[in-house]
A and B are shown apart, each in its own frame.
Chain A
Amino acid sequence: MLKHTPLIEVHRALNAKLVDFGGWEMPLHYGSQIDEHHQVRRDAGMFDVSHMLVIDVEGESARAYLRTLLANDVDRLQAPGRALYSCMLREDGGVIDDLIVYRCAGQSYRLVVNAGTADKDLQWMQAQRDQMASPPRIIPRHDLAMIAVQGPQARQKFWLASPALRAASEPLGVFHAVAAADAFVARTGYTGEDGFEVMLPAALARPMWQALRDAGVAPAGLGARDTLRLEAGMNLYGQDMDESVTPLEAGLAWTVDLGAGRDFIGRAALESRAPVRRLCGLLLLERGVLRAHQRVHTSHGPGEITSGSFSPTLSRSIALARVPSAVTVGDDVAVDVRDRQLRARVVKYPFVRNGRALVEVAPD
């Protein structure tokens, strides 16, 4: 039995192509995934991301708890309203999930975790909490919906749709958030564009969605969300990293805070050996499409594509691949695509940010 967000009837009425995504019946697209992708890069689009789980962590010990639980340091959140991206690791350094943690008022924090891993995450979090003398409260917020409004016009159109939230959300810097009225508005996202992620009570999701549509925000499905995040060089849990991979092997060293005096779960394992693999960006130099799990041949040994697709912005195929650490930007590699080997180049990623291509693509 598939789970449904409060917006399922809206998706059905819009004739969305619905798919099973981590046990949730979610819209893949509403007609054309590529059109939806361009809409977000050029104007504004919105995603129902209510399948992701909001988890509030509250109480005097919340800070100490999260400083042990997460590979990034919540003490970087110097004031309420700041957000931080982090991995949650096993003792052996494998990634249990990646998440965003927001510092809220008082001693509270808010985590947003992936849908497919939510149950596992909660079990892990509760098990770690139970080892504390004065544990924090862990409150899964199944009562909340979440809509991501993304694109260069996203904020303006959000304020048109929801003028009451303008005063609170207009001053927000990137990776900042605010609780206002019934909503929690964060200037975060998963597309490489500006915009907001809005958490609100389930009953308010439909009116908010409708108001956004009336303001000219186009619905976009998980298909466009995937190509947007890939262009933006953002990892997808379960694809670019999982429990068999450390953040250092997944391009996420920048999210691991190895500052002195903090013993987070997985730290010892990360420090015990240097990673031999790294994540890199690939640009396909020929016609074709790179896909996850295709084998990559480099001069330093084999690797594997973790995410690959067609980039609508670049009109080329791009990928993230796990390769030997010695592979460097500018290297040419070969990728097994069915019965052929195609040439690809190792490039820096993100590939696209704020509507602009960051890698050079030679014309045909």
Chain B
Amino acid sequence: MSIPADLKYTDTHEWVRIEKDGSLTIGITHHAQDLLGDLVYVENPKLGRTVRKGEECGVVESVKAASDIYAPVSGEVVGVNEALDEAPQQINESAYQAWMFRLKPSQPGEIEALLDAAAYQKLVEAEAH
């Protein structure tokens, strides 16, 4: 599975898409879902919540394990994908379509620090060894 070049990434395996209006759409990477296995439960942050970069703001759970989701940047939660409540397996089926939540960043400078696809690819390869 190739890593989409048009997205940004975190070292905790979230992907980030920068929308035209400046908001960010966030999900977990294909690599992350592959490590977790079949997902059975997704807990998203509440709409309107303010988060700081690196803060725990959600959980994805597979049959095997639970994994925290971290805010890639600071901001306000302006959207959550409620479809995942009933169908968390959408993340397994297509990790880069099954988004989790949207943020309106409060510190746009933090976006610069996110990884590009090449850097994330390196991180995944390093973890494999």
Contacts and interface: CB of A to CB of B under 8 A. Distances in A.
Nearest to B38: A34
Contacts of B85: 287
Interface in B51-97: 59, 61, 63-64, 66, 85, 89, 92
Interface stretch (A25-33, A50-58, A161-169): A25-33
B37 interface: yes
Nearest to A221: B37
B59 A310 contact: no
A325 B27 CA distance: 44
A32 B36 CA distance: 11
Contacts of A34: 38, 40, 63, 89
Given A227-B63, A291-B66, A29 B40 contact: no
A145 B14 CA distance: 42
A67 interface: no
Nearest to A19: B64
Please classify how large the interface on chain B is, using the bins under 10, 10 to 19, 20 to 34, 35 or more.
Answer: 10 to 19
A223 interface: yes
A223 B65 CA distance: 11
A338 B85 CA distance: 18
B56 to A, nearest CB: 9
A42 interface: no
A224 to B, nearest CB: 9
Contacts of B92: 32
Contacts of B37: 17, 28-29, 32-33, 223
Given A287-B85, A338-B59, A33 B41 contact: no
A223 to B, nearest CB: 6
B95 to A, nearest CB: 15
A238 interface: no
Interface string A224-241: 000100000000000000
A287 B43 CA distance: 9
B84 to A, nearest CB: 11
B66 A310 contact: no
A223 B37 CA distance: 10
A312 B85 CA distance: 16
Contacts of A287: 41, 43, 85
A291 B63 CA distance: 10
B59 A33 contact: no
A289 B38 contact: no
Contacts of A255: none
A288 interface: yes
A33 B63 contact: yes
A309 interface: yes
Contacts of B38: 32-34
Interface in A289-318: 289, 291, 309-310, 312, 317
A288 B63 contact: no
3 closest A-B pairs by beta carbon, nearest first, are A310-B40, A34-B38, A289-B61
28 contacts: A17-B37, A28-B37, A29-B37, A32-B38, A32-B92, A33-B37, A33-B38, A33-B63, A33-B64, A34-B38, A34-B40, A223-B37, A223-B63, A223-B64, A287-B41, A288-B41, A288-B43, A288-B61, A289-B40, A289-B41, A289-B66, A291-B66, A309-B63, A310-B40, A310-B41, A310-B63, A317-B41, A338-B66
Interface of B: 37-38, 40-41, 43, 59, 61, 63-64, 66, 85, 89, 92
Given A287-B43, A289-B61, 18 more contacts: A17-B37, A32-B37, A32-B92, A33-B37, A33-B63, A34-B40, A34-B89, A223-B63, A227-B63, A287-B85, A288-B41, A288-B61, A289-B40, A291-B66, A309-B63, A310-B40, A310-B41, A310-B63
